[in-house]
Structure 1
Amino acid sequence: MRIDTHQHFWIYDPNRDTWITDNMSSIQRNFLPNDIAQTLKDNNFDGVVAVQASQSNKESHFLAELAQAYKMIKGVVGWVDLHSPQIDEYLDEYQKYNIIKGFRHVIEGEEDGNFLSTDEFLNGIQSLTKYDYTYDLLIRPRHYESTLHCVRANPNQKFMLDHIAKPPIKSQEFEEWALFIQDLSSYPNVYCKISGLATEADWTNWRLDHFTQYVDHVIKCFGKNRICYGSDWPVCLLASSYEQSIEIVQDKLKYFTQAELDLFWGLNAVNFYSLK
């Protein structure tokens, strides 16, 4: 099974979706499964994981309902308030949606560098573990230390690092990010999506070799059993076509065996998210 582990769907709302700024005008519109279905077929993908783009319980229900209508959606990463004292009640309610595999918060938008190490957040993660949900990590450098603290405190929780932690590809800075990846990958319960790369580069002037040191480092650190592909569609369209988002990664897999390619393009995601 070939899986794109990171796609977004939304009915655009300018009041809600303020993160889509005016320099992103090309994605200030609706994006739904019919908009990508043929492209997925053309690129031999069997399905996708739909990931939250806004932060409300309504978003989780929206994605779960889309999955009922579109079989291409093999799993959903929704949103839930991990800080809520009612977290167990929320997760108990979500049990009726088998398609919801885990949750995510847009931590990169949180100015507090300690966001992942607060007692409330850690309590929420413990609840996810209890209910066997995954957690996607969307972070910036200010969250590196609290991310490591959170992962270290929750060895039985399945974590997925989104967009290889958004390294500064445009400026080609490397060392701080590389050390973090090395530390994070030492925890066997953490996987990594090689995704969202073009939008961290110069949107209009990137080359394939701009991504090489970052992708190579992730493969070296996480190995071939804990990495998977994600397009970050439609956000990727700001800097690349869907096919180019594939090419950026595929270019770095020349020495993978067929079995290793099968893991990267699908089987690792099936294992992590328990997809069917």
Structure 2
Amino acid sequence: MRIDAHQHFWIYDPVRDSWITDEMSTIQRNFLPNDISQTLKDNRIDGVVAVQASESHQESYFLAELAQVYKLIKGVVGWVDLHSAHIDEYLEEFKKHEIIKGFRHVIEAEPHGDFLSSDEFLRGIEALTKYDYTYDLLIRPRHYASTLACVKANPNQKFMLDHIAKPPIKSQEFEEWALFIESLASFPNVFCKVSGLATEADWTNWRLDHFTQYIDHVIKSFGKDRVCFGSDWPVCLLAASYEQSIEIVQDKLKDFTNEELDKFWGLNAVKFYNLK
């Protein structure tokens, strides 16, 4: 099974979706499964993981409802208030929706670097472990230290690093990010999505070789059993078509065996998210 492990769907709301600035006008509209289904077929993608794009429990239910209509959605990464004293009640309720495999918070927007190491957040992660949910990490460099502390404190929690931690591809800076990747990859409970790369480059002037050192380092650090593909559609459209998003990654997999390619393009995501 070939899986795109990172897609977004939304009915555009200029207030709720204010993160989509005028610079990003290309995606200031609705995006639903019908808009991508033929493209997925053309690229032999069998299914997708739908990931939250706004922060409310309603978002989780919206994606779960979409999955009932569109069978191409094989799993949902929703949002839950991890800081809430009622986290167990929320997760009990979400357990009624088998399609919801895990949760994410847009940590990259949080100004405080210690966001992941607060007592409230750590209690929320412990609850996810208890209910067997995954957690997607969307971070920036200011969160590196607390990310490592959080992962170290939760060895039984399954973590997925989104967008290979958004390295500074546009400037081609490498060392700080690379050291963090090596440290994070040392924890066997962390997987990594090779996703969302074009939007970290120069949107209008990137080349395939701009991504090489970053993708190579992720594969070397995590190994071929803990990496998977994600397009970050439709956000990727700011800088690359769906086909270009595949090409950016495919170009770096020349030494993969057929079995390793099957894992990268789907089976690792199926294993991590327990997709059916």
Name the counterpart of 1:149.
Answer: 149
RMSD over equivalenced CA pairs, Å: 0.2
Correspondences of 1:95-244 after superposition (within 5 Å): 95-244=95-244
Name the counterpart of 2:256.
Answer: 256
* Secondary structure in structure 1 of the residue aligned to 2:210: helix
| In 2, Cα distance between equivalents of 1:18 and 1:162 | 21
Segments of 4+ moved more than 2 angstroms: none
TM-score (structure 1 length as normaliser)? 1.00
| In 1, Cα distance between equivalents of 2:201 and 2:44 | 26
- Which AA in structure 1 matches 2:188? P
* Secondary structure in structure 2 of the residue aligned to 1:252: coil
String of CA shifts for 1:162-184, please: whole Å, max 9, x gaps: 00000000000000000000000
1:246: Cα distance to partner?
0.1
- Which AA in structure 1 matches 2:261? L
Name the counterpart of 2:23.
Answer: 23
- Which AA in structure 2 matches 1:50? A
* Secondary structure in structure 2 of the residue aligned to 1:148: helix
| In 1, Cα distance between equivalents of 2:266 and 2:205 | 30
- Which AA in structure 2 matches 1:147? T
Q: How many residue pairs get matched? A: 276
- Which AA in structure 1 matches 2:9? F
| In 1, Cα distance between equivalents of 2:72 and 2:133 | 21
Percent identical residues: 82
String of CA shifts for 1:29-76, please: whole Å, max 9, x gaps: 000000000000000000000000000000000000000000000000
TM-score (structure 2 length as normaliser)? 1.00
- Which AA in structure 2 matches 1:94? F
* Secondary structure in structure 1 of the residue aligned to 2:102: strand
1:243: Cα distance to partner?
0.1
* Secondary structure in structure 2 of the residue aligned to 1:176: helix
Name the counterpart of 1:275.
Answer: 275
1:273: Cα distance to partner?
0.1
1:10: Cα distance to partner?
0.1
Q: Which runs of 5+ in 1 are unaligned?
A: none
| In 1, Cα distance between equivalents of 2:233 and 2:268 | 20
- Which AA in structure 2 matches 1:111? P
Is residue 273 of structure 2 the alignment partner of residue 266 of structure 1?
no
String of CA shifts for 1:110-133, please: whole Å, max 9, x gaps: 001000000000000000000000
* Secondary structure in structure 2 of the residue aligned to 1:269: helix
Q: Which runs of 5+ in 2 are unaligned?
A: none
| In 1, Cα distance between equivalents of 2:207 and 2:217 | 18
| In 1, Cα distance between equivalents of 2:28 and 2:171 | 27
1:219: Cα distance to partner?
0.2
1:96: Cα distance to partner?
0.4
| In 2, Cα distance between equivalents of 1:18 and 1:178 | 31
| In 1, Cα distance between equivalents of 2:154 and 2:49 | 24
Is residue 64 of structure 2 the alignment partner of residue 64 of structure 1?
yes
